[in-house]
Amino acid sequence: MFVTHFGLRRRPFRTTPDTDSYYPATTHEVALNDLDRAIREQEPICLLRGQTGMGKTLLARRLLEQQEDEKLRRLLIANSVFTGRKDLLQTILFELGLPYQNLSEQEARLSVTDDCLKHFQKGGRTLMVIDEAHHLNTECLEELRLLGNLAANRGVALQILLVALPSVWKRIDQNGMESLLQRLSVRPELQPLDESESVDYIVHQLRWAGAKNPDALFDGETLNLFARQASGIPRLLSQMAGTALELAAENGLDHVDYEAATEALALLGLDIEDLANQPVAQPDTLKLHQEPEVAVEPEAPAEKPIAPRRPTIVAFEETEDPVESVPYPAEMGDLRHNGKRVVFPPIVITDTFPPKYIYDGDEWVKDPAARSAS
């Protein structure tokens, strides 16, 4: 086991939430302070959001531990997969230590309400944290909103903290639960750590585990590699560093080298671009980096001067489709009719018909036969 091999007091990078190893990242501290303030100000319902592996459960447990009010009763529901309201109410009764079996839905609801109100009358409040709240269906979310209404002039009897993935907000909005949305005035969302905090997170875990010199276990190159590959997710950082320590210990190393780090990433199914170990390309393989070859166009033959010609009147046969205009030499002029560019002489192509128009050298003529008769 690498704990003994590296002289550590305890195992770092544990996958289960451990509040003793909590790392005070900026995003976590902001969320913790917001939720703590909401509890002290007796907000009925709050929401903590965060992607998978961001430490939502760990933060919720730390929030419960740091509450100094001795009369605050704390409940934590870790499994929020319920088929309906009755399952939810029975789970709450179980956490309260009350009978929950052989009760109808209304009996379970009255039992929860009665117990919370009695505890409130004695000067206490109940704080209930529901983890994985994105699994709750619409009925259960509505039941929790109604339970949040247990209040009196002196404050609220029951406070609820929902811990869920960010998608829960969109789902609540799409289901038209406007009343619940309005009550979620405190809803912090955990953001990924930056690269600097990611490196400090690994060092913090090693110091907590008893490492006297964390920099000797992971060099800067390895720490930066993990920080880039984990995308700021604490759980991934823990998995990478823990797996790398195990590999280093199995191979009898006194530190995690770059090879052990890349092997750990491979075991976790993470592909990396090891640019430092790529072979240097030979000159004949650097075609992509060469200047592109420029084709030399042959010189155009000298243009002959255009001899003036008298316009020739040409009759057009009507067709089913209009004839599109064609390119014309600039020396031949630029005539427009109805916004269309035409070619002349001797043939004028138009796309307006019937009737056809032609140019006889002086003006546009609609009827060539009538013109020649005059």
pLDDT in tens, 119-136: 999 999 999 999 999 999
Question: What average pLDDT does the segment 95-116 reach?
Answer: 96
Q: Please list the alpha-helical segments (H only) found in 2-75.
A: 2-5, 26-40, 56-65
User: What residue ranges define each of the domains in the chain, with the CATH number in brackets?
Assistant: 26-183 (3.40.50.300), 193-272 (1.10.8.60), 310-374 (no CATH)
More confident residue, 303 or 248: 248
Local confidence band at 294 (pLDDT 50, 70, 90 cut-offs) = very low
pLDDT of residue 212: 85
List the single range of 222-226, 256-260, 363-367 with lowest mean pLDDT.
363-367
pLDDT of residue 173: 87
Residue whose token pair is 């750590």: 193
Q: Please list the alpha-helical segments (H only) found in 135-257.
A: 138-147, 167-174, 178-183, 195-208, 214-217, 220-230, 234-250
- pLDDT of 63 > 60? The answer is yes
Q: Which of 199, 141, 132 is nearest to 173 (CA)?
A: 141
Strand 358-359 and strand 45-49: the pairing is: unpaired
Strand 125-130 and strand 158-164: the pairing is: parallel
CB 199 within 8 A of CB 171: no
Local confidence band at 220 (pLDDT 50, 70, 90 cut-offs) = confident
- pLDDT of 292 > 50? The answer is no
d(CA 89, CA 68): 27
List the single range of 4-8, 132-136, 309-313 with lowest mean pLDDT.
309-313
pLDDT in tens, 328-338: 444 444 444 45
Question: What average pLDDT does the segment 347-360 reach?
Answer: 51
pTM, entire model = 0.71
Strand partners, 76: 129
Local confidence band at 284 (pLDDT 50, 70, 90 cut-offs) = very low
Count of Cβ atoms closer than 10 Å to residue 181 Cβ:
16
d(CA 93, CA 111): 8
Residue 71, burial from CB neighbour count under 10 angstroms (0-12, 13-18, 19+): exposed
